[in-house]
Copies of this chain bind each other. A is one copy, B any other.
Amino acid sequence: MQIFLNGKRAALLCIVALSWTILAARQTEPTHSLMPVPAQVRFTNGTFRLTESFTIVIRRTSTSRLEAGMQRALQRLAGRTGLFFSRPAVSQNQNADKPALSVMVKQPGEVKLGEDESYTLTVDARGILLAAQTDIGALRGVETLLQLLSADKDGYYFPCVRIVDEPRFPWRGLMIDAARHFMPVDVIKRNLDGMAAVKLNVLHWHLSDDQGFRVESIVYPKLHERGSDGMYYTQAQIREIVEYADERGIRVVPEFDVPGHTTALVYAYPELGSGPPPDGIERKWGVFDPVLNPANESTYEFLDRFIGEMATLFPDPYFHIGGDEVEHGGKVKHWDTNPEIQSFMKRNELENNKDLQRYFNERLLPIVKKHKRIMIGWDEILQDNMPKDIVIQSWRGRESMMQAARQGFQSILSSRYYIDLIQPTDYHYLNDSIPPDANFPPELQKMVLGGETTMWAEFVSWETVDSRIWPRTAAIAERFWSPQNVRDIDDMYRRLNVISLQLEEHGLTHEKNYEMMLRRLVNGNDVSALKTLVDVIEPVKGYNRNNLREHTSLSPLTRVIDAARPDARVARNFRTVVDRLLTNTPLDLQILAELRTQLTVWEQNHAVFEQLAERSPALREVLQLSDDLSAVARIGLAALSLVENEKQETDEWGKEQLELIKLARAPRGQVELMVLSAIEKLVYAASEVQPSGTKNK
């Protein structure tokens, strides 16, 4: 084997050194399968066994939120173990004899920013104690307990442990866009359950945009009647969801985007717009012209009455007014071309559109305040002379967030948490709201309330949205909750696999809709050849999907690209295993055999896939990609044999293979193969060609 460790191999070691170091790293405290990792956790020897006589006793303060939460926890324990708990499970008997789980809460919590969510959890052989300042803290703690559930040949148990935990940030959010594609009530509810499971505490609900206005308004009924294609939340449903969230200790912050992103609004009430009335709600994706008219007093009357109505539905003190993307390429067409607005600007000495938006915001702010709400908006509402009691949600970069803090604004970070852009989990996971930057001292850090992951919905439906949110959002939730130094990617992925399956108990479909969508695509035929392919592909990243093929809100979201998931697990495993092969000395023959098996499956897959595509026309857009996978697998097999036999091909051979692999990089059907960089590494190892830097896919 020694002969293999030539200069070539050393170079390779360099390439993969970083990821391997990360893979090898382990935290000093074991993280079990906990996600988010608690602030302090210390496992000790011993177990507490879960039996059918398990009971929960709520001591001291009880609230309906706490009782219902404990009932749900018990039901989930029964669900995971099949145990028939024998006694009425949750009780408030102060003198109960040795309950399995004692829950002690000092006072009822309030679902508000900054509420105490801390808890301590102690499992020893005699019982479990969950203590918290508030019932909300107890809900956070019981999720930790549920994640601790373990099994061995003697049955189910909790490991003995002492956990002291509290969140790093008070604002830990998930934004769901229900405007671009409507998300029915059950989608929101199951995602609230998922959020609670990973200790997120804000649902930011994007409820209006160019493509839809999704809330029933009694005061302005045309908003939902004309603005939604009949797909909107009734006020009863809004109340139902707010209550559902409250029961789980989750705030609901509604967003009604103004003055831009308002085609649906302006279609309903054209008199509030700045330009010609739209033909209908928008069907395409992008930034559009309709925009509220800041020079029209009716606009503020509308906002006053509308926000007043919404304030009766959404009790949270924060009210999100959007404010993003009013300017488009430096222009606001309907403002620039409206003479009344132009003369209004002159009269009021507003020099440009930014000034006009500031004017709008300055008029809007007292309206929001009048209804006892705190205004929050995207980056663009940040302007020097705005009062400091608004909150900025940074989407354009961490720099804008730091800028906000320096100017005295509180903020939350969403930049690099855009889960709609199909980035891998680690990309988001390593993105910290607080930059490790000397220019951002603690007093500024305090201005950062937390972060929000954003599920923009241009390309997701009720069928696929869960697969874009989960499991990646669980890792982001850890970033928001856990100590800053919890950053072990390999351990994160290990735990994420566990959590992902646990999240299914809430009805989330991120795992189970995968094969359902594949089944539909093969139209009754055997799914395996398709699955083999889709297991190693991902949708194109960023905004490329629409660049490659223009979609509308009516386009189907049932294609291969929609079945394909971010962070394709099989592809990621393959990349990891190739790295292991190439860094382990001596050569690990078992790994080599595994890789050969995998590559052989891919190589042979296309012949079957081709037949399948004959009967399933929807597959034809990835036919070339399937062929490409087989072709690169052949290259991988050749390289593997060379590596195995400790031989090296010429530089010419290597370059030829790399050219072939490069051809396979072209997306087809807006999806791409995620195993190419790993196969390139095999080619580097098998030939004299020199690596030209790492690649992402």
A81 lies within 8 A of chain B by Cβ? yes
- Once A151-B615, A186-B186, A240-B234 are accepted as A-B contacts, the answer to whether A79 and B520 lie under 8 Å apart by CB is yes
A617 partner, pick from B151, B615, B621, beta carbons under 8 A: B151
Among A484-505, those with CB < 8 Å from B are 497-498, 501, 504-505
| Chain B residues in 8 Å Cβ range of A556 | 75, 78-79, 81-84
B78 x A507 contact (CB < 8 A): no
A185 lies within 8 A of chain B by Cβ? yes
A438 lies within 8 A of chain B by Cβ? no
State A89–B557 Cα separation when bound (angstroms): 17
| Chain B residues in 8 Å Cβ range of A154 | 617
- Once A185-B186, A515-B515 are accepted as A-B contacts, the answer to whether A614 and B153 lie under 8 Å apart by CB is yes
| Chain B residues in 8 Å Cβ range of A505 | 520
A82 partner, pick from B84, B236, B618, beta carbons under 8 A: B618
| Chain B residues in 8 Å Cβ range of A516 | 504, 511-512
| Chain B residues in 8 Å Cβ range of A152 | 614-615
Among A128-179, those with CB < 8 Å from B are 151-156
The smallest beta-carbon distance between A158 and chain B, in angstroms, is 14
- Which residue of chain B lies nearest to A505 when distances are taken between CB atoms in the complex? B520
A interface residue numbers (CB < 8 A to B): 68, 75, 78-85, 89, 151-156, 184-186, 230, 234, 236-237, 240, 462-463, 497-498, 501, 504-505, 507, 509, 511-513, 515-516, 519-520, 523-524, 551-552, 554-559, 614-618, 621
State A607–B237 Cα separation when bound (angstroms): 51
| Chain B residues in 8 Å Cβ range of A498 | 524
A81 x B618 contact (CB < 8 A): yes
A68 partner, pick from B156, B230, B236, B617, beta carbons under 8 A: B230
- Which residue of chain B lies nearest to A616 when distances are taken between CB atoms in the complex? B151
| Chain B residues in 8 Å Cβ range of A79 | 520, 556-558
B615 x A82 contact (CB < 8 A): no
A80 partner, pick from B68, B153, B462, B558, beta carbons under 8 A: B558
A82 x B511 contact (CB < 8 A): no
B507 x A462 contact (CB < 8 A): yes
Interface pairs (5), CB distance under 8 Å: A75-B554, A79-B556, A81-B556, A151-B615, A501-B519
A558 x B186 contact (CB < 8 A): no
- Which residue of chain B lies nearest to A556 when distances are taken between CB atoms in the complex? B78
A504 partner, pick from B237, B240, B519, B552, beta carbons under 8 A: B519
The smallest beta-carbon distance between A498 and chain B, in angstroms, is 6
- Which residue of chain B lies nearest to A155 when distances are taken between CB atoms in the complex? B617
| Chain B residues in 8 Å Cβ range of A240 | 234
| Chain B residues in 8 Å Cβ range of A559 | 82
- Which residue of chain B lies nearest to A64 when distances are taken between CB atoms in the complex? B230
Instruction: Give 3 closest A-B pairs by Cβ, nearest first.
Output: A186-B186, A236-B236, A78-B556
The smallest beta-carbon distance between A578 and chain B, in angstroms, is 22
| Chain B residues in 8 Å Cβ range of A557 | 79
B507 x A520 contact (CB < 8 A): no
State A513–B554 Cα separation when bound (angstroms): 28
State A554–B86 Cα separation when bound (angstroms): 9
State A534–B366 Cα separation when bound (angstroms): 63
- Once A78-B556, A186-B185 are accepted as A-B contacts, the answer to whether A524 and B501 lie under 8 Å apart by CB is yes
The smallest beta-carbon distance between A512 and chain B, in angstroms, is 4
| Chain B residues in 8 Å Cβ range of A616 | 151
From A85, A498, A511, A516, name the one whose CB has the most chain B CB atoms within 10 angstroms: A516
A520 partner, pick from B80, B230, B463, B513, beta carbons under 8 A: B80
State A84–B68 Cα separation when bound (angstroms): 46
- Which residue of chain B lies nearest to A150 when distances are taken between CB atoms in the complex? B523
Given contacts A81-B618, A151-B523, A511-B519, 13 further A-B contacts (CB under 8 A): A78-B554, A78-B556, A79-B520, A80-B520, A80-B523, A81-B556, A151-B615, A154-B617, A155-B617, A186-B186, A234-B240, A504-B516, A504-B519
State A274–B510 Cα separation when bound (angstroms): 51
B520 x A501 contact (CB < 8 A): yes
| Chain B residues in 8 Å Cβ range of A524 | 497-498, 501
The smallest beta-carbon distance between A418 and chain B, in angstroms, is 25
| Chain B residues in 8 Å Cβ range of A520 | 79-80, 501, 504-505
A186 partner, pick from B184, B512, B513, beta carbons under 8 A: B184
- Once A520-B504, A524-B501 are accepted as A-B contacts, the answer to whether A82 and B512 lie under 8 Å apart by CB is no
